């Protein structure tokens, strides 16, 4: 891992896309990094966590933290940036939902130093429950300049570029990634790590700058729009938007970005075709002139992107505006007269990640050409196989097994409803455990339980991990007291953020430890027990029975360290 | 991004490898070893892996592509040259990437799936035979358990075995280099020995 701090310009090292973002930030001279762990973005935090002391020797101003949640992380990074520092904040797609309240406001004021926001989506939900959220639509809503790198080298280069752009226009810049881009490893050629300036910037008071009170807020919006217009002009000329096979006379072109670009080039190689390709490095604001000039030479264009059509819609609107007669292939949406509806044939899926062969098949269909391999026949053969699914399950020795066993022993599983939450315990959905009747987002298990118990009067047991509790569980807990409902909340305290790679949280941090039971009591909960469910299973069972009878909300803190972490600490 | 046009050539020589198994069998470490070996030989390469939810005892599949100019990090359907299955049932899932050109190296190991019946070995082999005839079963776990009391070394053993069988276009010395760079010091000797054993 220390290799990432090598100051050897020109040397090649192996990095994951996410690690390359860290290197890009290091080469840009980053001062402040904050995050809340979430896969597929976790490596940003993990990397800085491991190197922070060494990096401080290069940049003494440097600070890294795991913040309590993504909103807090973004606000902290903004605090650094409005004081003139260079900050990076990283999160997964759902984290941006949590932080969006702040993001949409921050864009109005802009920042003083520079600020880069890294967000990773997870097509196919490889490392996510919840949803297959497409974060790109936030770029439109918040008006945040957004870049999409394709491979590790670009992750580094784009990050460095993003810091410069942010400093130039005093605006936060987003880098948006997807699982296959972020968890792609490859050689990266290093650049130079700058000598840190010992000058320490300061927050400068200016009532016009960072206070979004009306009527000033509407002026700020105007200033934001002006910045975006200027950035757009710059993007038109930028070589981060590339045209490949620009001299091709083919009448079908391809427009793409991110990891999809790599699939496009793979498909063209396999088909031995040289179709013109426009690879967008920026997905907001779009370089409209560049796109139009590209489209003008074509009769049809295939838009290759993962998840819901973002580029496709924007391009369709642009083509309509310019009265361009061009056929658009992609997710099969047709836009006319401001309305969107499905055309009969979608050529690429909106659900699930793309694969190189999907793009090859799409191109073949449009050109009425045979693909390089009989994918259809092969797929039929493959789909006939009976392959038992092997979903993830709690690790052997996981302390949560003791919770599961106790519940199965003393709780009426038919009568009680079980509320799930984001963390290892969402594996309670596994068919051999089967203790999860609903699952949404972080912090939701208890608030939903409140709604159920206030209306249907059914008893609900909810689970929430310690890290999730600090992240978003506390307001929900207070609500059960304030508005009087009676769920039994089991806080699974394994003393880490286990699922994303054992990051610390406020209950176990290096600094002053925040005790879960103290918070629970301070929230007004009267029925509180702290039990080690592994060492004292009988006490845990007794606690369950007792608290299930209560007419008010009650909390059991099941405190036993994660088995993997315990093993790690011993070795 | 490196020169795309340069990447066009030599496509035929791309080497596509899939490693499948169960979370905890060391797939990501194997991928890192392969990447360091490829870097040492100045080859272009890409790897693809998944983290998080998929690691908790679930199926784990990594992709490794090597050649002069590698674009997609993912191997295409039916396009694997070599598939290393660290667990036999998991080889079934990897058939998505198999075609008659694909060589299978199967570790003779079955890890039961909670709540599912075990797919018998002969049934697994018959299914693979519908895709490719090139199948070899290696008792990697058994050998490593006997010699080192450590089944997890089966992965490195299989890598070395593939190299020796000329199924993996990397030099033995490069794999050694890779192991030295990737494996923590206290496990280094046993990993190098497992590699050596696979070559004997």
Q: pLDDT tens, A180-219?
A: 999 999 999 999 999 877 789 999 999 899 999 999 999 9
Helix H or strand E encompassing A557? strand A554-559
- Print burial letters for A436-460: b (CB count within 10 Å at least 16), e (below 16): bbbbbbbbbbbbbbbebbeeeeebb
Antiparallel, parallel or unpaired: β A277-280 and A114-121: unpaired
d(CA A274, CA A248): 7
The rounded percent of chain B whose pLDDT value lies above 90 is 86
pLDDT of residue B8: 45
pLDDT of residue A511: 66
Residue A63 bridge partners (DSSP) = A32
Q: Which residues of A touch B54 (CB under 8 A)?
A: 126-127, 392
- Nearest CA to A268 out of A285, A281, A250, A286 is that of A250
pLDDT surpasses 60 at A340: no
Q: Which domain holds residue A486?
A: 400-570
Same domain, A22 and A98: yes
CATH code for position A222: 3.40.50.970
Average pLDDT, stretch A540-559? 97
Tokens of A230: 């200027």
**Is residue A516 assigned to a domain?**
yes
C-beta separation of B57 from B22 below 8 A: yes
- Cβ neighbours of A201 (radius 10 Å): 16
pLDDT of residue A314: 95
Helix H or strand E encompassing A290? helix A288-296
Of the pLDDT bands very low, low, confident and very high (cuts 50, 70, 90), residue A346 is confident
3-state helix, strand, coil in chain B (%, to 5): 45, 20, 35
> Given A237, A268, A284, which residue is the final one in a domain?
A237
pLDDT of residue A199: 83
What is B4-199's CATH number?
A: 3.40.920.10
pLDDT of residue A529: 98
C-beta separation of B27 from B49 below 8 A: yes
pLDDT surpasses 90 at A24: yes
pLDDT surpasses 90 at B62: yes
HSE-up of residue B35 (Cα within 13 Å, Cβ side): 29
Same domain, A291 and A221: no
Same domain, A264 and A181: no
**Is residue A538 assigned to a domain?**
yes
Same domain, A471 and A491: yes
Domain count, chain A: 3
Shortest CA gap B6–chain A (Å): 12
Q: Which of A153, A179, A270 sits opposite B1 (nearest CB)?
A: A153
C-beta separation of A531 from A559 below 8 A: yes
Computed over every residue of chain A, the mean pLDDT equals 95
* C-alpha dihedral (A561, A562, A563, A569), degrees to nearest 10: -70
**Is residue A394 assigned to a domain?**
no
DSSP structure class, residue A488? E
| Helix (DSSP H) and strand (DSSP E) numbers for chain B | 8, 6
Average pLDDT, stretch A149-175? 98
- Cβ neighbours of A139 (radius 10 Å): 22
Q: What separation in angstroms does the CA of A35 have from each of A39, A182, A509?
A: 12, 16, 15
pLDDT of residue B55: 61
- What is the per-residue pLDDT across A496-534, written as a single tens digit (0 to 9) for each? 999 998 999 999 966 678 999 999 999 999 999 999 999
Same domain, A211 and A306: no
pLDDT surpasses 80 at B54: no
Same domain, A232 and A246: no
Nearest CA in chain B to A38: B52
d(CA B182, CA B176): 10
Nearest CA in chain B to A396: B57
Helix H or strand E encompassing B67? strand B59-67
HSE-up of residue B100 (Cα within 13 Å, Cβ side): 2
pLDDT of residue A184: 97
CB contact under 8 A, A126 and B54: yes
Strands (E) across A44-197 are located at: 63-66, 86-92, 114-121, 146-147, 173-178, 184-189
Torsion sign over Cα A119, A157, B69, B180: negative
Of the pLDDT bands very low, low, confident and very high (cuts 50, 70, 90), residue A258 is very high
Nearest CA in chain B to A502: B52
- What is the per-residue pLDDT across A106-135, written as a single tens digit (0 to 9) for each? 999 999 999 999 999 999 999 999 999 999
**Is residue A38 assigned to a domain?**
yes
* Residue ranges covered by each domain of chain B: 4-199
> Given A175, A202, A237, which residue is the final one in a domain?
A237
pLDDT of residue B61: 94
User: In this predicted complex, what is the ipTM?
Assistant: 0.94
d(CA B149, CA B168): 26
**Is residue A388 assigned to a domain?**
no
pLDDT of residue B159: 97
**pTM of the entire predicted model:** 0.95
d(CA B95, CA B108): 17
Torsion sign over Cα A176, A182, A185, A191: positive
- What is the per-residue pLDDT across A136-158, written as a single tens digit (0 to 9) for each? 999 999 999 999 999 999 999 99
Average pLDDT, stretch A294-304? 96
Angle between helices B172-182 and B154-164 (to 10 degrees): 160
**Is residue A472 assigned to a domain?**
yes
DSSP structure class, residue A9? T
C-beta separation of A516 from A493 below 8 A: yes
Q: Which of B51, B57, B72 sits opposite A395 (nearest CB)?
A: B57
**Is residue A311 assigned to a domain?**
yes
d(CA B177, CA A52): 28
For A263, residues 6+ apart whose C-beta sits below 8 A from its C-beta are: A304, A354, A355, A356, A358, A359, B72, B74
CB contact under 8 A, A388 and B35: no
Tokens of B177: 């280099």
Q: CB of A187 within 8 Å of any CB in chain B?
A: yes
Same domain, A153 and A223: yes
pLDDT of residue A195: 86
Shortest CA gap A262–chain B (Å): 5
Angle between helices A288-296 and A216-237 (to 10 degrees): 40
CB contact under 8 A, A263 and B72: yes
The rounded percent of chain A whose pLDDT value lies above 70 is 97
CB contact under 8 A, A151 and B46: yes
d(CA B166, CA A461): 57
pLDDT of residue B200: 86
Shortest CA gap A540–chain B (Å): 26
Torsion sign over Cα A325, A327, A331, A334: positive
CB contact under 8 A, B39 and A14: yes
pLDDT of residue A328: 92
CB contact under 8 A, B114 and A432: yes
Q: Which residues of B touch A260 (CB under 8 A)?
A: none
Same domain, A174 and A69: yes
- What is the per-residue pLDDT across B177-196, written as a single tens digit (0 to 9) for each? 999 999 999 999 999 999 99
Nearest CA in chain A to B182: A1
Q: Is B120 helix (H, G, I), strand (E, B) or coil?
A: coil
Is the omega angle on the peptide bond into residue A58 within 30 degrees of 0, that is, cis? no
Computed over every residue of chain B, the mean pLDDT equals 92
Q: CB of A257 within 8 Å of any CB in chain B?
A: no
**DSSP line for A318-338:** HHHHTT---EEESS-EEEETT
**Is residue A71 assigned to a domain?**
yes
A residues 407-426 lying closer than 8 A (beta carbon) to B: 424
Of the pLDDT bands very low, low, confident and very high (cuts 50, 70, 90), residue A562 is very high
pLDDT surpasses 70 at A333: no
pLDDT of residue A47: 97
- What is the per-residue pLDDT across B8-51, written as a single tens digit (0 to 9) for each? 444 457 999 999 999 889 999 999 999 999 999 999 999 999 87
> Given A348, A383, A418, which residue is the final one in a domain?
A383
């Amino acid at each position: 891992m220390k290799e990432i701090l090598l100051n050897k310009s020109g040397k090649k090292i192996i990095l994951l896309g996410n690690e390359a973002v860290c290197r890009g930030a290091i080469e840009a001279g980053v001062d402040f990094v904050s995050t809340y762990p979430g896969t597929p973005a976790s490596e940003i935090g993990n990397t800085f966590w491991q190197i922070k002391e060494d990096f401080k020797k290069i940049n003494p101003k440097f600070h890294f933290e795991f913040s309590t949640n993504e909103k807090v992380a973004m606000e902290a990074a903004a605090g650094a940036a409005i004081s003139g520092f260079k900050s990076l904040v990283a999160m997964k797609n759902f984290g941006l939902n949590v932080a969006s309240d702040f993001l949409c406001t921050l864009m109005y004021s802009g920042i003083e130093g520079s600020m880069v926001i890294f967000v990773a989506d997870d097509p196919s939900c490889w490392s996510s429950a919840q949803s297959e959220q497409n974060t790109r639509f936030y770029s439109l809503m918040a008006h945040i300049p957004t870049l999409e790198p394709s491979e590790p080298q670009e992750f580094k280069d784009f990050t460095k570029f993003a810091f410069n752009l942010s400093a130039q226009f005093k605006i936060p810049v987003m880098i948006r990634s997807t699982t296959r881009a972020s968890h792609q490893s490859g050689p990266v050629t290093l650049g130079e790590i700058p000598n840190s300036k010992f000058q320490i910037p300061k927050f400068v008071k200016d009532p016009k700058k960072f206070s979004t009170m009306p009527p000033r807020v509407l002026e700020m919006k105007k200033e934001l729009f002006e910045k975006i217009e200027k950035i757009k002009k710059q993007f038109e000329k930028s070589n981060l938007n590339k045209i490949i096979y620009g001299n091709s006379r083919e009448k079908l072109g391809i427009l793409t970005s991110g990891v999809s670009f790599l699939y496009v080039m793979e498909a063209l190689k396999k088909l031995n075709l040289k179709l013109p390709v426009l690879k967008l490095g920026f997905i907001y604001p779009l370089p409209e002139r560049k796109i139009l000039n590209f489209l003008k030479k074509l009769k049809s264009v295939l838009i290759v992107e993962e998840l819901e059509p973002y580029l496709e819609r924007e391009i369709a609107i642009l083509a309509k505006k310019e009265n361009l007669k061009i056929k658009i292939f992609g997710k099969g949406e047709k836009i006319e007269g401001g309305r969107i509806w499905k055309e009969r044939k979608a050529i690429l899926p909106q659900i699930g990640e793309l694969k190189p062969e999907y793009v090859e098949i799409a191109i073949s269909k449009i050109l009425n050409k045979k693909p390089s391999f009989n994918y259809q026949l092969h797929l039929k053969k493959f789909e006939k196989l009976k392959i038992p699914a092997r979903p993830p399950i709690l690790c052997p020795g996981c302390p949560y097994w003791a919770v599961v066993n106790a519940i199965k022993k003393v709780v009426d599983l038919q009568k009680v409803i079980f509320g799930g939450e984001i963390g290892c315990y969402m594996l309670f959905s596994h068919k051999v455990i089967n203790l999860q009747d609903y699952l949404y987002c972080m912090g939701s298990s208890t608030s939903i339980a409140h709604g159920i118990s206030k209306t249907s009067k059914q008893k609900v047991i909810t689970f929430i991990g310690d890290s999730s509790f600090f992240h978003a569980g506390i307001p929900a807990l207070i609500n059960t007291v304030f508005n009087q409902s009676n769920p039994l909340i089991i806080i699974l305290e394994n003393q880490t953020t286990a699922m994303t790679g054992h990051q610390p949280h406020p209950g176990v941090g290096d600094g002053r430890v925040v005790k879960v039971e103290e918070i629970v009591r301070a929230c007004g909960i009267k029925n509180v027990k702290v039990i080690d469910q592994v060492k004292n299973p009988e006490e845990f069972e007794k606690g369950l029975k007792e608290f299930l009878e209560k007419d008010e909300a009650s909390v059991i803190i099941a405190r036993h360290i994660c088995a993997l972490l315990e093993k790690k600490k011993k070795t | 991004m490196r020169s795309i046009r340069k990447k066009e050539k030599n496509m035929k020589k791309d080497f596509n490898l899939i490693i499948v198994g169960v979370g905890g069998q060391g797939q990501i470490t194997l991928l890192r070893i392969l990447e360091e070996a490829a870097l040492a030989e100045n080859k272009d390469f890409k790897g693809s892996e998944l983290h998080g939810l998929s690691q908790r005892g679930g199926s784990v599949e990594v992709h490794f592509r090597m050649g002069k100019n590698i674009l997609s990090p993912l191997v295409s359907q039916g396009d694997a040259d070599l598939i290393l299955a660290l667990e036999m049932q998991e080889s079934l899932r990897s058939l998505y990437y198999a075609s008659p050109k694909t060589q299978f190296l199967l570790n003779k190991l079955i890890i039961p799936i909670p709540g599912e019946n075990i797919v018998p070995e002969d049934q697994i082999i018959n299914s693979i035979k519908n895709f490719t005839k090139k199948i070899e079963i290696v008792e990697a776990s058994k050998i490593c358990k006997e010699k080192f009391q450590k089944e997890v070394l089966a992965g490195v053993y299989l890598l070395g075995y593939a190299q020796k069988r000329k199924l993996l276009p990397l030099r033995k010395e490069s794999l050694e280099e890779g192991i030295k760079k990737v494996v923590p010091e206290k496990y280094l000797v046993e990993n190098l020995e497992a590699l050596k054993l696979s070559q004997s």
